[in-house]
Amino acid sequence: MREWLIFIFIILSAACLGLTSWFSIAGAYDLKKSSNYKDNHDYHEAHKWLTWAAIVSTILAVCLIISVVILVIAFGSDIMAMGPLGKVIFTIILLIFLGSLIAIGILHSLALSNLLKYKDYSKDKWGKSTFDKTILGISFGFGCTILLIFTIILQLMIGEKSGRRKKGRELQEFSEMITE
């Protein structure tokens, strides 16, 4: 049962990534609706960074879901059946996703800083909407990061307990063989 928690955290992370992507797309779309967009270089830069954040987070969400499907098909519910090399590869994959999430946060921050360069963004209905959606995108990206960190910790904890249980069973079988 504990092994499924890892998959649940990964699916929740993918959902958070999907929401991050959606808010990035919606923010970029709203920014383009602004009457100030045509002549405002800062809005163009913010739009560019939000578009990149949307692309990266969408690709990352799809890759995360595909990796979970492959893991479930390959190993079923027992993620610890992967052995030590499989666990290391799984942890490296999660760390790559974590690094990508940091990159998405940086892209959102660049978009936000360009948006804030325009002093009257809060008076612009679409600028304010983009600001709100960018903040929500950052928040969901942060939530996804926390979920992936919990997943890595949980995977390491389950692996350690599974290893202890396996050694305990081996010792018990060995002692039964000796007593027979």
pTM greater than 0.85: no
Domain spans in the chain, listed from the N-terminal domain onward:
2-179
pLDDT score of 52:
93
Higher pLDDT, 61 or 166: 61
Spatial distance between the Cα atoms of 53 and 14, rounded to a whole number of angstroms: 15
Cβ atoms within 10 A of the Cβ of 56, count?
19
Q: pLDDT, tens digit, for every residue of 6-53?
A: 777 777 888 888 888 898 999 889 888 888 788 888 888 999 999 999
Q: What is the mean pLDDT of the chain?
A: 78
What single-letter amino acid sits at 3?
E
Interacting residues of 101 by C-beta distance below 8 A, sequence separation 6+: 17, 60, 141, 144, 145, 148
Q: pLDDT, tens digit, for every residue of 118-162?
A: 877 778 888 888 888 888 888 888 888 888 888 778 777 766 555
Q: pLDDT, tens digit, for every residue of 86-111?
A: 677 777 777 888 888 888 888 888 88
Spatial distance between the Cα atoms of 34 and 121, rounded to a whole number of angstroms: 10
